[in-house]
Copies of this chain bind each other. A is one copy, B any other.
Amino acid sequence: MEELTHYIFYDIEVDRIRNRVSEICKDYGLERIQFSGFSGKLGRNKRQELFLKITHAIEEGSGKVLILPLCEKDTREIKEYVQLVP
């Protein structure tokens, strides 16, 4: 099954729920790219599973999640800038 690169971003205020969501993302082999953002390859079924698990976690409180699939062509146009000053 074709796996596309996905980006997952969430806005969750309660630490416990936010941590739960980051653990779910790690369970799916995704890599943390921002404080509340992960990315990695997912097939369609895994994406749906991941989405349901995250929404289930958020339902306990409040928050938002967005799962974005990017085709090969789109990934070539991504712009990223990181400056980490200690």
Query: Which chain B residues lie closer than 8 Å to A84 at the CB level?
Result: 62, 64
Give how many A residues have a beta carbon under 8 Å from the other chain's beta carbons: 38
Query: Which chain B residues lie closer than 8 Å to A11 at the CB level?
Result: 34-35, 37
Is there an interface contact between A33 and B66, defined as CB atoms closer than 8 Å? yes
Contact of A51 among B9, B66, B81 (CB under 8 A): B81
A1 within 8 Å of B by Cβ? Answer: no
Select from chain B the residue with minimum beta-carbon distance to A59. B83
A25 within 8 Å of B by Cβ? Answer: no
Query: Which chain B residues lie closer than 8 Å to A71 at the CB level?
Result: 71, 73-74
Q: A9-B9, A71-B74 are in contact. Are A65 and B80 (CB under 8 A)?
A: yes
A17 to chain B, nearest CB (A): 11
Extra pairs beyond A51-B79, A67-B78, A69-B78 (12, CB < 8 Å): A7-B9, A9-B34, A48-B79, A54-B81, A59-B83, A61-B83, A62-B85, A64-B80, A67-B79, A67-B80, A69-B77, A71-B73
